[in-house]
Chain A
Amino acid sequence: MSTFQEFVGNEGHAPLWPYEICYDREQEIETDVLVIGGGIAGCWAAIGAARKGARVALVEKSATVRSGAGGPGCDHWCDAPANPLSKVDPDQWAERLTKGFGGYGCGIGREIQCRENYDALLELEKMGGKIRDLDDTFKGAEGRDEKTKLLISPRMNPFHDTNVVIRVWGTTFKPALKKECERLGVKIFDRVMATGLLTEKGIQGGRVLGATGVNGRTGEFMIFKAKATILCSSSGGSVWLLSTELSGYNTMSPRTVSGDGIAMAWRAGAQFTLMERSGIVGIAPGFKHRWYTGAGDASYENVPLVDAGGKELPIVTEPGWGKKDVDRMGSGWASIRERVLKGEYSLPFYGDFPSMPPIEREAVWNMLLKEECTGKIIVDSYTEAGFDPGQDQLQNYALLEGSSPAQWREAAGGGLVIDWDLKTSLEGLYAAGTQLFSPGDHSFAAATGRYAGRKAASYALVASEPIVSKEQISAEKARIYAPAGRRNGVDWKELHAGIARVMQYFCSEYKTDALFNMAIETLEEIEEKWVTTLFAMDPHKLIRSLEDLSILTHAQVILHASRARKASSQILNFHRIDYPQVDPPEWHKFITVKPENGNVKVGELPLDYWGNLKQNYEAHNRDYTGASL
């Protein structure tokens, strides 16, 4: 027996809710530093703060042992120019990353990543994470260094000769991080969704003094009083998504990535930027068919691609060493498409594992792909089904699936404006990982989390005691428990689909102020007429319902930011019919938005508002002593 239907068939009744229901109970926790979100960034933030001697509480909506985009695994330790095999200077590499993506990179985050992520990796090894091929499994593989036993990835190498990306055994990371949090005395609250930030006197824009939360199994109300709070709850997924049945596996991120941190910080009055930026939605779960979505798609990494007739394609996702005559993703695919239409190449394409040198094949299939995000179960499933990379070619899904529907988008790159302490525009509120604008990969999350942790702790250790507003707590309680008090109306799936449809219609391929206004008005109507009927039968569905409210707020922030940018931009995937000029120089800047007195305050920042990266990093980190080993 395992499904609900089987249980009912055998027992003659539905199972009782297995956890104690206590909607009317509340728990109060006092701490120096509160970390919201226990993914890679959140765990590192907790560790960084605890090492400074602060009392730390960590709130995680899922289960810290495997939560977050890097929970099941993670594939590369990207952009680690401080590693001993690197051929580039950390400060110069940070400058390069920041100026990539049209200049809209997050310089502060990139400088922290390039300076400190190798220190974090060494610490992770000490905690039990595997970062070296100590048992010589991959001896002879390209990029493997015999002395350090590190495996350098071919990523970035053909074009830059950098040795800046390291292959890692990412499935070992999250359990090790959780264990280290526990060893340092971090109080972990799993299955608790943070719902709202508490501010001084309950005023929007005031100092942040902790957060409220609700337990997704028991419904218990949580009050976290904290001198400093670090948001590490990722950005938001599913804003444009429409699927009531396939709610779990339609995006690159799990359902739990619902923009809770964005919604909380917005309501508290924080400043955001790049919220108008969007990408094509990555429908990439399951066997991850979609092109360039990691394990399960043969275009990943340096696997040669061939067409259905065995003809090699002049393109790979990550060229191997010495292959400088091939395209890497991007525009190369337009040319391939043309040649397919002319009959030069035939579909489908395949990843030609058998043509690879055995040791390189082994390193890609059994290490890199298996350690990537959700890759382990994918590799295991193929293997159990009979796939043998020594003899078989893995199908690739480029072109075969067509393009994503043009109206389907994904939030991409927007986040909180931060300073050199990773402090947001609100006193007492810090941020790390994909909660920042223009975030990077797992190592970015680790390095910025670790950094935000120590900065927030330094602040908390001298900050005054938090005195929270009882009125604000009462209002938040009323807001979050309203759906639990209803038994009919609109449920979370229908509401989510309704919000997504608004974004598909009015904030998608064709953008104008008139369409943005229609979206804003429709979302207001949804808030007034539908959210007020939202119902949740149990604490689990209450969490899903509250996630919808985060998605709704996230959508509103995107619309306000979109309305504020009166120009089109190729790099931001932002095309306006009413302002068709693409990337005019006067709009080459960060547009910022924040709520103020019932309105949205629009501002701007220059693309290098952080000043000189090297000088400012050093000025703000004179006490930094490197890896704690």
Chain B
Amino acid sequence: MPMYALPNASTPGRPVIFNPEICDGCNTCVDHCPIDVFIPNPNQGGCPIILHPEECWYCGTCVNDCPRPGAAAFNWPLQQRGYWKNKKTGHVFRA
């Protein structure tokens, strides 16, 4: 595969990870996203393209309203991942 000369990617750049095995390109997420983060894939049935990832509000509508469970997994930016602690052991976890 050729190496293209590309500018830095906008970040955080991947609010959703699509599973191409399950996603059938129905574009419900494209239609429901309040921000228009996605565009339909020009290849029929392909997963939507995340065109404006840095504009994402992280509202979850794309995953919440997806009619095919598992087709879209939410992907929180690294800096936003929350912590919790097991009350008995005191062990701290991070999402």
Q: Which residues of A contact B (CB under 8 A)?
A: 1-5, 7-9, 12, 15-18, 62-63, 65-68, 71-72, 171, 191, 216-217, 245-249, 254-256, 285-287, 289, 296, 310, 348, 350, 352, 354, 373-374, 376-378, 380-382, 385-387, 391-395, 540, 544
Contact = CB atoms under 8 A, between A and B. Distances in A.
A248 B35 contact: yes
A142 B72 CA distance: 36
B77 A286 contact: yes
In the A-B complex, list the 5 residue pairs whose CB atoms are closest, starting with the nearest.
A377-B60, A286-B80, A62-B34, A254-B57, A395-B83
B10 A249 contact: no
Contact of B36 (A8, A71, A216): A216
A18 B46 CA distance: 13
Contacts of B84: 350, 382, 387, 392-395
A247 B35 CA distance: 11
B47 A245 contact: no
The residue in B14, B18, B64, B83 that gathers the most chain A C-beta atoms within 10 A of its C-beta is B83
Given A12-B2, A378-B60, A66 B87 contact: no
A355 to B, nearest CB: 8
Given A2-B14, A3-B13, A63 B32 contact: yes
Contacts of A380: 60, 63, 74
Interface string B1-19: 1101010011111101110
A5 B9 contact: yes
B58 A286 contact: yes
A374 B80 CA distance: 14
A16 B65 CA distance: 26
Interface of B: 1-2, 4, 6, 9-14, 16-18, 20, 31-37, 39-42, 46-61, 63-65, 74, 76-77, 79-88, 93, 95
Contacts of B82: 287, 289, 296, 382, 394-395
Nearest to B12: A246
A245 B77 CA distance: 13
Given A2-B48, A4-B49, A248-B56, A392 B80 contact: no
Given A8-B4, A249-B80, 9 more contacts: A7-B49, A63-B32, A66-B65, A247-B54, A287-B76, A287-B81, A287-B82, A377-B63, A395-B83
A394 B86 CA distance: 9
B58 A377 contact: yes
Contacts of A392: 84-87, 93
Nearest to B62: A377
B55 A255 contact: yes
A393 B74 contact: no
Given A8-B6, A354-B87, A3 B57 contact: no
Contacts of B16: 2
22 contacts: A2-B17, A3-B13, A4-B9, A4-B51, A8-B4, A9-B4, A15-B41, A17-B39, A65-B32, A66-B33, A67-B34, A72-B59, A72-B61, A171-B64, A246-B12, A246-B54, A256-B34, A286-B77, A352-B87, A377-B63, A380-B74, A540-B36
A1 B41 contact: yes
Given A2-B48, A395-B84, A381 B59 contact: no
Contacts of A65: 31-32, 65
A62 B85 CA distance: 38
A62 B55 CA distance: 13
Contacts of B83: 348, 395
Given A71-B61, A249-B57, A15 B49 contact: yes
A17 B37 CA distance: 13
A268 B83 CA distance: 48
B2 to A, nearest CB: 7
A449 B53 CA distance: 32
A15 B57 contact: no
